Amino acid sequence: MPSPAGPTPLARLAATHGVATGYEGNDRTWVDVDESIVVAVLGQLGVDASSDAAVTRELERVDAAQDLTALPATVAVTHGTPRHLGDEVRGTLHLEDGTTLDVESELPSDLPLGWHRLSTAERDVTVVVAPARLPEVPRTWGWMLQLYALHSDASWGMGDYGDLAEVARRAGSEQGAGVLLVNPVQAFVPSRPLQRSPYSPASRRFANPLYLRVTDTEAFRAADDDTRAAVLALAPTDRPELIDHDEVWDAKLAALELLWEQRPATARSEPEPDDALRAHATWAALTEVHGADWRAWPADLRDPASDAVATAAQELTDRVAFHAWLQHLCREQLDAARAAAHEAGMPVGIVHDLPVGVDPGGSDAWALQDVFASDVRVGCPADAFNPLGQDWGLPPWRPDALAETGYAPFRDVVRSVLRHGDGIRVDHVAGLWRLWWIPPGEPAHRGTYVHYDADVMLAVLTLEATRAGAVVVGEDLGVVEDVVTETLHERGMLSSAVLWFERDWDAPGQPHVPPQEWVPETMASISTHDLPTVAGWLADERVRVQDRLGLLGEPLEEALATTAKDRAAMLELLATQGVPDDDLVVALHAVIAPAASRLVLSSPADAVGQLEQPNLPGTVDEYPNWRIPLPLDLDTFFTDPRVADAVAALRDARPMHDHS
């Protein structure tokens, strides 16, 4: 813990910028951060702490700024609650609807929801007024989809937006499902080899054209017979054992380029791109000329506002327009999938997954350089499972820049996800409170936490979800501060519950907590994409794969003994719940079906008894992450007897029209 003598000048400076000089580790012991790491992280925020004299100067600068105004650049207000700003504050509040209001000392409780601006003599302040909580989430069940893993007669080598619409229609109307959670479908870097992980997108504001169904476009429908035949001839004919993202994109890109060139005037009705889309399309066009990572481009192209970029965009006008058109197609097909869910009567609909960050060489990191700490990587500190920590290779937001921009970048990300969805799942939701920053040149475990204004981040999320009529789920698995989960529930947001982890960790033998006793404000599932499938868990597949790859960290026999105890504990839960264990895939669906959780999800991989898990953390090319297809096509999936047996318990416990 900090010294009883009081914080050092460096610690005081770090605190003013939200940089932790110590934290509670996973074993609840206090960890002091090396001062050199604190200095390095402060440097990434533009704060010079390289010497005692520099620290003194920075503290004087902070004190002077606080003397000018006590107001932060952005404030959050809960609708129905007044917000005291300070006795000396005087200003004009410019409401979102164009009206104004004189303000003295505090913001009134009856402010309308929205984005407002307070002008004082010292500065302009963004005011985000959000509801205290979201409406209650309907009680239903559904599927969590790895969209790429699906396949049908109409999709080309991997799942697509058309398959998503098909699942929405059939899961709702035939199975009684009420929600679909989809892996991130944000934009990729369009150069080979493609980044396969959906959690490292080029942009979180735009969609992934790899998932387009070429034959569902207006350009294809309006094309002449010869053009349609040429497009269909490009479709991959083989179904390899593993999904080949590059082959799929090569085929779709060639087909889309053909349609772009041949499309008649009737197919050219897409709207003019706004500035953000134009910038993204410009970036995509430039990657085709200069490579995937903008940081390796010629220096004058690394600044999106430079004359060189404007000139290049003019020279690449047709290509920029092509990439903007691809986004238009994505929007149409995502909207169609959402409409299919609504038409099928789903009480929730489609929930899209929001990754924790973006590729440092991608579109967002290029276009929004001022709000990213571009040289920092986000990850996790060392813990019992990862003694060297985790490095996710993603640049974080700068909290100071977010505040100065009124959190517009975060707002735009949330809006882009909810534009086509009925909900948002926030990956690593603890990142709204703090993120583990790894400074340049350091390994994953040599970092520290940087704190964000969680009140504002949650206000943005709550306001935008309210306006979209959407549900919010926070992924809070792993070592997470209690305040994260508690606050999610207070705001009407769901946290995560996974059957494998719902154990009484303080009791001998760690028995499972009966699902009926789980916290209601949760989205529950048997497993996740980073954990074994049901069949894989039963067969110890993960342990055996880790052993083959040298990643197990303990003798195989000891690991197998542990998993045997885990299975025994699960069988005990089934027995106490009166669930037959003759088919454990079906049994685990039956035991989770009556959970107190508002949402209960299964995955197609679990329901069909697939052995391999989608992603094995700690691996890149050693394991076929994000490349494993579902063994059944969609038609077979919806008629499979084992899937029907698994669904029966979920449907009976959570009928479509029972939204209590």
Is the pLDDT confidence value at 216 over 90? yes
pLDDT at 511: 84
The percentage of residues in the chain with a pLDDT greater than 70, rounded to a whole number, is: 96
Distance CA 361, CA 375 (A): 11
Using pLDDT thresholds of 50, 70 and 90, give the confidence band for residue 264: low
Is the pLDDT confidence value at 618 over 70? yes
Domain ranges of the chain: 74-130, 157-332
Model pLDDT for residues 232-254, shown as the tens digit of each residue: 999 998 888 999 999 999 999 99
pLDDT at 448: 97
pLDDT at 467: 97
Is the pLDDT confidence value at 659 over 60? no
pLDDT at 125: 96
Is the pLDDT confidence value at 118 over 90? yes
Distance CA 462, CA 442 (A): 36
Distance CA 114, CA 42 (A): 33
Distance CA 539, CA 536 (A): 5
pLDDT at 522: 98
Using pLDDT thresholds of 50, 70 and 90, give the confidence band for residue 263: confident
pLDDT at 272: 85
Q: Which of 100-114, 152-166, 221-235, 262-276 has the lowest mean pLDDT?
A: 262-276
Q: Which of 167-171, 326-330, 565-569 has the lowest mean pLDDT?
A: 565-569
pLDDT at 505: 67
Averaged pLDDT for residues 1-9: 66
Preceding omega of 198 cis (within 30 degrees of 0): no
* Residue of higher predicted confidence among 554 and 363: 363
Sign of the C-alpha dihedral computed for residues 616, 617, 621 and 622 taken in this order: negative
Query: Within its chain, how far is the Cα of 193 from the centroid?
Result: 23
Is the pLDDT confidence value at 189 over 60? yes
pLDDT at 330: 97
Q: How far is CA 83 from CA 114, 125, 193, 406, in A?
A: 15, 14, 51, 17
Is the pLDDT confidence value at 479 over 90? no
Model pLDDT for residues 320-362, shown as the tens digit of each residue: 999 999 999 999 999 999 999 999 999 999 999 999 999 999 9
Averaged pLDDT for residues 369-373: 96
The pTM of the full predicted model, rounded to 2 decimals, is: 0.95
Give, rounded to a whole angstrom, the gap between the first and last alpha carbons of the chain: 46
Using pLDDT thresholds of 50, 70 and 90, give the confidence band for residue 35: very high
Average per-residue pLDDT for the chain: 93
The residues, ordered by sequence, that sit 6+ positions from 496 with a Cβ below 8 Å of its Cβ are 473, 474, 475, 476, 477, 522, 523, 524, 525
Residues 323/280, Cβ–Cβ less than 8 Å: yes
Distance CA 573, CA 579 (A): 9
Q: Which of 266-275, 415-424, 482-491 has the lowest mean pLDDT?
A: 266-275
Is the pLDDT confidence value at 506 over 80? no
Q: Which of 92-101, 177-186, 613-622 has the lowest mean pLDDT?
A: 613-622
pLDDT at 5: 54
Using pLDDT thresholds of 50, 70 and 90, give the confidence band for residue 507: low
Residues 409/402, Cβ–Cβ less than 8 Å: yes
* Residue of higher predicted confidence among 67 and 190: 190
Q: Is 597 left (phi over 0), alpha (psi -120 to 50) or beta?
A: beta
Averaged pLDDT for residues 200-225: 96
Q: How far is CA 151 from CA 158, 163, 168, 270, in A?
A: 6, 7, 14, 29
- The residue among 66, 224, 26, 249 whose CA lies nearest residue 157 is 249
Is the pLDDT confidence value at 28 over 90? no
pLDDT at 288: 95
Is the pLDDT confidence value at 606 over 80? yes
